Structure 1
């Protein structure tokens, strides 16, 4: 899953070139977004069902981020061993979070590690960026 999303990551990082905080419009506040990419294969076979992922959201994500989150269906592909194309279904979780602090970073790390352990994954990719938010 990690290799599948490298182009997305590179495009996302292009917006990080500026070190200035975003200039938000009236009524918006500077925050951050984090997108977590959860592959659903176990090994090279489909494995994490929608029901298992929803249980993970209920047990791991929601307690750490009760303010809310968005879950999207996704998919990716990359070249695996022996130059073989590997495709994988994925779930993408989008979080709007306060400016990143150590507490938030710790919670994001716990979520990623819990998924890796529960579903025998290599990693969970995360992309974070500055955002202007209004509710």
Structure 2
């Protein structure tokens, strides 16, 4: 009986590790990738200004993703030890084809921001999506 319960528990745990179903888009939609990139503003010599952010969008983002983008200011927070740090940030949303070339462009964009503004990291959330324009 004990081994049966162990086997049942193990099976339940492994079922949670199953791969999700592949994305199924309707005939009027196309499979894309939706990227949410979160950019902090604190840097060693101050903060990234709104003008610097706009310059980054113009110099780095638009040339890589000329089809369009959405960006907005945000207020983020994160934990550093026992402290909660609040920080002005920006969120950038990109929807693009799932190609190796565009994957490299997203990574290059993140590296460009980190280098330009002395950032340790850019948070990336990547999700499969079905896209359509009506």
> Which protein is bigger by CA-based radius of gyration?
2
What is the CA deviation profile of residues 58-81 of structure 1, one whole-angstrom value per residue up to 9, with x for unaligned ones? 000000000100002112112214
Q: Is the 8 A contact 1:33 1:131 kept in 2?
A: yes
Aligned residue for 1:55?
55
Q: TM-score, normalised by structure 1?
A: 0.79
C-alpha separation in 1, matches of 2:30 and 2:64: 22
Unpaired segments ≥5 residues, structure 1: 1-16
**Number of equivalent positions:** 116
Q: Is the 8 A contact 1:73 1:90 kept in 2?
A: yes
1:110 counterpart (93, 108, 112):
108
Aligned residue for 1:127?
125
C-alpha separation in 2, matches of 1:109 and 1:30: 20
Unpaired segments ≥5 residues, structure 2: 1-18
Point out 4+ residue stretches in structure 1 off by more than 3 angstroms: none
Task: Map 1:43-82 to 2 at 5 A.
Answer: 43=44, 47-81=47-81
Aligned residue for 1:12?
none
What is the CA deviation profile of residues 28-47 of structure 1, one whole-angstrom value per residue up to 9, with x for unaligned ones? 1111111111001114x850
Q: Is the 8 A contact 1:33 1:96 kept in 2?
A: yes
Aligned residue for 1:21?
22
